[in-house]
Amino acid sequence: MILASIEAGGTKFIASVGDEQIRIIDTLTVPTTKPEETMKPIIAFFNQYSIDAIGVGSFGPIDVNRNSETYGYITSTPKPFWKDFNFVGSLKTHFDVPIAWTTDVNAAGYAEYILGNAKGTQSCLYLTVGTGIGGGFINQGRMLNAYSHPEMGHLLIRRHPNDMYVGNCPFHKDCLEGMASGPAVEKRWGKKGIKLAERFEVWELEAYYLAQALVSYTLVLRPERIILGGGIMKQKQIFQLIRQQFGQLLNDYVAVLDLERYIQPVGLNDQAGIIGGFLLARKELTD
Amino acid sequence: MILASIEAGGTKFIASVGDEQIRIIDTLTVPTTKPEETMKPIIAFFNQYSIDAIGVGSFGPIDVNRNSETYGYITSTPKPFWKDFNFVGSLKTHFDVPIAWTTDVNAAGYAEYILGNAKGTQSCLYLTVGTGIGGGFINQGRMLNAYSHPEMGHLLIRRHPNDMYVGNCPFHKDCLEGMASGPAVEKRWGKKGIKLAERFEVWELEAYYLAQALVSYTLVLRPERIILGGGIMKQKQIFQLIRQQFGQLLNDYVAVLDLERYIQPVGLNDQAGIIGGFLLARKELTD
Ligand SMILES: Nc1ncnc2c1ncn2[C@@H]1O[C@H](COP(=O)(O)OP(=O)(O)O)[C@@H](O)[C@H]1O
Ligand SMILES: Nc1ncnc2c1ncn2[C@@H]1O[C@H](COP(=O)(O)OP(=O)(O)O)[C@@H](O)[C@H]1O
Ligand SMILES: [Zn+2]
Ligand SMILES: [Zn+2]
């Protein structure tokens, strides 16, 4: 069984070919320019193999509703050229194989659920905190998608009384993404996150916002585990700060596992997206 | 087919017997005192019929995890006598029939989804705003339960800058329930909700809090429809206020149906809980 996986991000696409054991055979990285330009080398790359199924995790918003006329499309993205791109359709014209289609965060979350730090649980919330903030929820092997996929990065949160930063979300100004994404950290403190590692107050405030959001997700979704990924979460000291503030805010209102186990970093590092694509491709063949 | 349904509330239990068309044959109401005292007349009532299945929607928190040793129990409720009551077990000793077991809000939400104002949709968030605030989410016919059932009434929200009320949640003070439940309205304004019908500022503020919560639920769950029930929502003027503030807050970030259709009152009035119990009992027999 030869599986193909695409992690379609806003700055680059990663395409990999692997086997049914999810061992990577080959990988290609292409910058995200225009749909035809970006897809062409990927299609040529996949054509070298006899592919049985493809799994795609894409930046969004995307249409994941199988009954919709625009299923498989990137929909209302502000990214030039990509709005209304028929992603699955463009693959289908070249590969007559099952194609799994979901968001980048759903794919990464699924990988963490099956093989990463949520392995062995029944449900997992995956949140990435990077250029944007996005999340996916997997419950008993199924990704949560209803009218559409979650957009949980834009949760409304309480500002810290001493925080004067206005927030940079173009839709909501001071939503979670507007206050706690990588670019928000950079604009508030005047330096990139990686350069702020020693500044305790930076991560204390970041934890203040993330802990609030995790309490809300916990109350609504009741995951067995929460996995946090993305560039900002490379500051490992933040995990303890989040757990502390989370514990205070939740105040034992609902039962969760002890917080060391409940709130964890990624287990698959930057490979979660690609591995998720393989797993979802394999699932298309075996379900 | 004879179906039994129990709506187990904090002040009273309603027990009904009905047929497979969900037509109610007979109903009994019993005050919520102690488990044995409350259950005894209900068991005698059901024993008059040849019951094929029972559906229970109970106040919580309850254990809904079928693999758990305490499945079917009311768990950590502060309500005297009811903590650790084996609800399903106590029914099983009298009735050797399938028993559906869920929260009161899940049952009511399921009824709205199948027969009420969310009929014909694929997913529905149901929120009750009464003595407490609680919610349930149904997606493609399945109720969302992961590590446990949702407790979404305690969402953290932003206080209104002019609102001096401290909030009455014993766990979080000014969470949604602490600021917007019936008792919170009464304590803030000094009168019961029903006596405040003419005071515009009461419902404008109430809508301010509920709209925030609905935005968060929308981003996390992406329901096709939201149904609002409970005593507070009998103030029908509040729906337009919620829709207005919801629209401003969400700012078209994600697609929802037009707000008249998206945010609606209950279709089954006070019967949603009992009807949900019947529907879930019937589902046990037919699935
Ligand atoms: N080690 C780090 N410490 C703090 N912030 C980081 C670190 N690495 C990346 N970031 C920040 O995370 C953001 C990028 O997130 P990342 O998840 O790597 O990519 P993307 O979200 O674009 O896929 C940037 O704002 C960057 O400044
Ligand atoms: N018509 C009404 N207008 C405003 N508030 C009401 C109305 N009816 C009931 N309430 C309030 O709703 C709460 C009771 O909620 P309800 O859903 O009826 O019961 P419960 O939540 O206890 O099952 C009380 O705080 C009550 O004051
Ligand atoms: Zn936003
Ligand atoms: Zn609370």
At B191-216, the pLDDT tens digits run 999 999 999 999 999 999 999 999 99
For B237-280, write each residue's pLDDT tens digit.
999 999 999 999 999 999 899 999 999 999 999 999 999 999 99
Q: What is the pLDDT of residue B209?
A: 98
- H/E run at residue A8: strand A2-8
Return the residue in B125, B126, B147 with the most chain A beta carbons within 10 A, the one to mutate for interface testing.
B147
In chain A, what residues touch B146 (CB-CB under 8 Å)? Answer: 122-123, 137, 139-140, 221-224
Average pLDDT over residues B45-61: 97
- Tell me the percentage of chain A whose pLDDT exceeds 70: 100
A92 lies in the same domain as A125: no
Whether residue A187 is contained in a domain is answered as: yes
On whether any CB of chain B is under 8 Å from the CB of A259, the answer is no
pTM reported for the whole predicted model: 0.96
Closest CA of chain B from A133, distance in Å: 12
Average pLDDT over residues B160-170: 97
Identify which of B148, B153, B215 has the shortest CB distance to residue A255.
Answer: B148
Question: In chain B, how many domains are there?
Answer: 2
Predicted complex ipTM exceeds 0.90 = yes
A87 lies in the same domain as A138: no
Q: Is the pLDDT of residue A138 over 90?
A: yes
B218 lies in the same domain as B166: yes
Q: Is the pLDDT of residue A80 over 90?
A: no
Whether residue A110 is contained in a domain is answered as: no
Q: Position A190: which residue type?
A: G
Q: What is the pLDDT of residue A255?
A: 87
Q: Whose CA is nearest to atom 13 of ligand 1?
A: A130
Tokens at residue B11, please?
A: 């002040």
Whether residue A81 is contained in a domain is answered as: yes
B54 lies in the same domain as B78: yes
Q: Is the pLDDT of residue B76 over 90?
A: no
A81 lies in the same domain as A160: no
Whether residue A189 is contained in a domain is answered as: yes
Q: Position B185: which residue type?
A: V
- Tell me the percentage of chain B whose pLDDT exceeds 70: 100
Whether residue B110 is contained in a domain is answered as: no
Q: What is the CATH number of the domain that holds B142?
A: 3.30.420.40
Q: What is the pLDDT of residue B204?
A: 98
For chain B, what is the radius of gyration of the CA atoms? 19
Whether residue B43 is contained in a domain is answered as: yes
Return the residue in B144, B156, B252 with the most chain A beta carbons within 10 A, the one to mutate for interface testing.
B156
**Closest-approaching ligand to the CA atom of B177:** 4
CA dist B169 and B192 (Å) reads: 18
Q: What is the pLDDT of residue A287?
A: 85
Identify which of A146, A216, A219 has the shortest CB distance to residue B139.
Answer: A146
For A7-25, write each residue's pLDDT tens digit.
999 999 999 999 999 999 9
Structural domain harbouring B190: 117-266
B96 lies in the same domain as B156: no
Q: What is the pLDDT of residue B192?
A: 98
B260 lies in the same domain as B140: yes
Nearest C-alpha neighbor of B47 from the set B86, B88, B91, B10: B91
CA dist B208 and B210 (Å) reads: 6
A73 lies in the same domain as A176: no
Q: What is the pLDDT of residue A79?
A: 87
DSSP for chain B, written as a single string: -EEEEEEE-SSEEEEEEEETT--EEEEEEEE---HHHHHHHHHHHHHTS--SEEEEEE-SSB---TTSTTTTBB-S--STTTTT-BHHHHHHTT--S-EEEEEHHHHHHHHHHHTSTTTT-SEEEEEEESSSEEEEEEETTEE--SSS---GGG-B-PPPTT------BTTTBSBHHHHHSHHHHHHHHSS-GGGGTT-HHHHHHHHHHHHHHHHHHHHHH--SEEEEESGGGG-TTHHHHHHHHHHHHHTTSS----HHHHEEE-SSGGGHHHHHHHHHHHHHHH-
B138 lies in the same domain as B180: yes
B144 lies in the same domain as B192: yes
On whether any CB of chain A is under 8 Å from the CB of B146, the answer is yes
In chain A, what residues touch B139 (CB-CB under 8 Å)? Answer: 144, 146
A140 lies in the same domain as A81: no
Whether residue B109 is contained in a domain is answered as: no
Indicate yes or no: CB of A147 within 8 angstroms of CB of B123: yes
B136 lines ligand 2 (CB under 6 A): no
Q: Band the pLDDT of A113: cuts 50, 70, 90.
A: very high
- H/E run at residue A106: helix A104-114
Whether residue B162 is contained in a domain is answered as: yes
Average pLDDT over residues A136-148: 97
Residue A93: exposure state from Cβ atoms within 10 A (0-12, 13-18, ≥19): exposed
In chain B, what residues touch A151 (CB-CB under 8 Å)? Answer: 219, 222, 253-254
Q: Is the pLDDT of residue B123 over 90?
A: yes
Average pLDDT over residues A56-72: 95
DSSP for A186-239, written as a single string: HHHHSS-GGGGTT-HHHHHHHHHHHHHHHHHHHHHH--SEEEEESGGGG-TTHH
For A217-266, write each residue's pLDDT tens digit.
999 999 999 999 999 999 999 999 999 999 999 999 998 999 999 999 99
Q: What is the pLDDT of residue A203?
A: 98
A246 lies in the same domain as A151: yes
Q: Is the pLDDT of residue A208 over 90?
A: yes
